Chains A and B, each alone.
Chain A
Amino acid sequence: DTEVTQTPKHLVMGMTNKKSLKCEQHMGHRAMYWYKQKAKKPPELMFVYSYEKLSINESVPSRFSPECPNSSLLNLHLHALQPEDSALYLCASSQVYDSTGELFFGEGSRLTVL
Chain B
Amino acid sequence: AQKVTQAQTEISVVEKEDVTLDCVYETRDTTYYLFWYKQPPSGELVFLIRRNSFDEQNEISGRYSWNFQKSTSSFNFTITASQVVDSAVYFCALRSHGNTGKLIFGQGTTLQVKP
Contact = CB atoms under 8 A, between A and B. Distances in A.
Interface of A: 2, 31, 40-43, 45, 48, 56, 88, 90, 92, 94, 97-108, 110
Contact of B95 (A31, A40, A88, A100): A100
Contacts of A56: 102
B24 to A, nearest CB: 15
30 contacts: A40-B110, A41-B108, A42-B107, A42-B108, A43-B45, A43-B91, A43-B105, A45-B102, A48-B101, A56-B102, A88-B43, A90-B43, A90-B44, A92-B45, A94-B101, A97-B101, A98-B101, A99-B33, A99-B96, A99-B97, A99-B98, A99-B100, A100-B95, A100-B97, A102-B47, A104-B47, A105-B45, A106-B44, A107-B44, A108-B43
A107 B110 CA distance: 18
Interface string B93-115: 00111111111011110100000
A41 B42 CA distance: 15
- What 3 A-B pairs have minimum CB-CB distances, sorted nearest first? A42-B105, A105-B45, A108-B43
Contact of A90 (B45, B52, B96): B45
A108 B43 CA distance: 6
Nearest to A100: B33
> What is the size category of the interface that chain B forms with chain A?
20 to 34
A45 B103 contact: yes
Interface of B: 31-33, 35, 37, 42-47, 50, 52, 91, 95-103, 105-108, 110
A41 B100 contact: no
A6 B83 CA distance: 29
A97 B37 CA distance: 18
A9 B53 CA distance: 36
Interface-centre pick from B50, B103, B108 (highest chain A CB count, 10 A):
B103
